Structure 1
């Protein structure tokens, strides 16, 4: 064991304590032996580390390459760009430097759904592309899409009332499971005054064929309808809504965070799309305007009868 009588400076003592601590000696005992305060040692241990000139220049190269790519380059691309400038850099070293600098590629990775085991269902396509509905709360349609949120994919479940193409329920989650679709359905059911005998149409995704989701439909006294397998046209109104969201509103590179995505998508659904965006199905009127016209007409009929 080293002793305080060793003729070494304070920095050298701290260095010895750190080295011996790595060999499993307790810091409290080491500081006592060397006669130094633990708070002084911790302050030295946690001090900002000065980068070497080589490391500083390497990080500047990485940062410059990242900014040149407008934030889209990942570690592999940055390694190639920096190496081409005469500063050899591997993909793995580039990854560590990006992490140290807090740089994250804004480029979306390719999305792949995980293959899920789902129960066999024999639910007919009761809607059969009869998308023109005579009143609200008669037919709802749902679907799920994926959205990039900076570091990973998030999943949006949407429920659309087909009468005026009004979004009535939605939910965003990091997991594309039946809990997500149940949450969107519950929002629709409660926000629309718990209507009965609604037909709910979707594709044959496992989130909609799962027992928990189907049980929720039964509790809400809804009739389930499903598209034919692999036929997106059987659910085209919701497909069009998702396409409009992604082409009109979402940034091409996705969102920086989950919370940003949630806030921005909600603005689209309850604001622009529902209240202002002209819809060809509604003869150029926004969904909420058409629904309000319908309910006003119903009140007029009720007064006159």
Structure 2
């Protein structure tokens, strides 16, 4: 208490800091304002001014908190930067630092979850022909449908036995972060990954540059069927170096995000329940999940914008 009363007489303390100390003393020791003020260099009028100022800020914070909760109810994994962009898209002028403070004070910050699970190894099986690494971790591009990445990941349901699992094969555009095509199957066959490639080929617009499709060294991507399909459609094939997951970091990042938001800490009883959840989440990711990287736009919105700029 003596330390705090000395601070009240210090000129180094701001009026706001003195106000907060006085309030702490009043609350803890039940002192009246008349008993404390004579020992401070703070005027009564300044004390009441600070009280009004803090109350105004509190009221404004309560309104912003309500808006933040509305955004978080629809997008629970949004961090403060993405929440700020979403609020600004609704015409609300707000600073990202203020959003960060309010979210932190109300335990609304995004909580990342990192649980190591045994990863599906697509390299197991008969080996085919490997391609060179054309991307060399140069993942940035302003051109849609120029640099694409793909991989296979495993999802389990029910009792998580060998039979209770499905596989996802998405193809992601590095310009827009959109999952342009994907397939889901009970078995990670070559036909399964070719299905997502066929969907990509149908959706690809006519552009004056060639596409590069990057993957790991999975046996499906070394197969004659996969390589032939790429060659027929003038798509360059690129592969990561062996056991180097960072060569395909954007795809690894996508799977991490998907499993954090959709899969970890959640149980799916049936295959149908899990597959429906996967389809819904990918649609949400493409059409509703805005990104700081995309200047507050969704992947689909950014693709439309990028294609218009090319045309």
TM-score using structure 1 length: 0.57
SS in 2 for 1:281: coil
The separation in 2 between residues aligned to 1:284 and 1:230, in whole angstroms, is 34
Q: Which runs of 5+ in 1 are unaligned?
A: 1-108, 300-305
- The equivalent of 1:165 in structure 2 is 177
Confirm or deny that 1:125 pairs with 2:129: no
Deviations, residues 67-108 of structure 1 (Å, cap 9, x unaligned): xxxxxxxxxxxxxxxxxxxxxxxxxxxxxxxxxxxxxxxxxx
Q: Which runs of 5+ in 2 are unaligned?
A: 1-116
In the alignment of these two chains, the number of paired residues is 190
Distance 1:150 1:162, change over 3 A: same
- The equivalent of 1:97 in structure 2 is none
Pick aligned residue for 1:155 from 167, 171, 175? 167
Pick aligned residue for 1:219 from 232, 240, 245? 232
- The root-mean-square deviation of aligned C-alpha atoms, in Å, is 2.3
Matched ranges for 1:220-239 at <5 A: 220-239=233-252
How far is 1:181 from its partner?
Answer: 0.7
How far is 1:251 from its partner?
Answer: 5.2
Distance 1:278 1:234, change over 3 A: same
- The equivalent of 2:100 in structure 1 is none
Do the aligned partners of 2:217 and 2:239 also contact (CA within 8 Å) in 1? Answer: yes
Distance 1:192 1:129, change over 3 A: same
The separation in 1 between residues aligned to 2:221 and 2:267, in whole angstroms, is 26
- The equivalent of 1:188 in structure 2 is 200
Confirm or deny that 1:241 pairs with 2:254: yes
Do the aligned partners of 1:148 and 1:253 also contact (CA within 8 Å) in 2? Answer: no
How far is 1:189 from its partner?
Answer: 1.4
Do the aligned partners of 2:172 and 2:179 also contact (CA within 8 Å) in 1? Answer: yes
Do the aligned partners of 1:143 and 1:159 also contact (CA within 8 Å) in 2? Answer: yes
Of structures 1 and 2, the one scoring higher in RCO (CA 8 A, sep 6+) is: 2
Do the aligned partners of 1:255 and 1:261 also contact (CA within 8 Å) in 2? Answer: yes
Do the aligned partners of 1:202 and 1:226 also contact (CA within 8 Å) in 2? Answer: yes
Question: Larger Rg: 1 or 2?
Answer: 1
How far is 1:191 from its partner?
Answer: 2.2
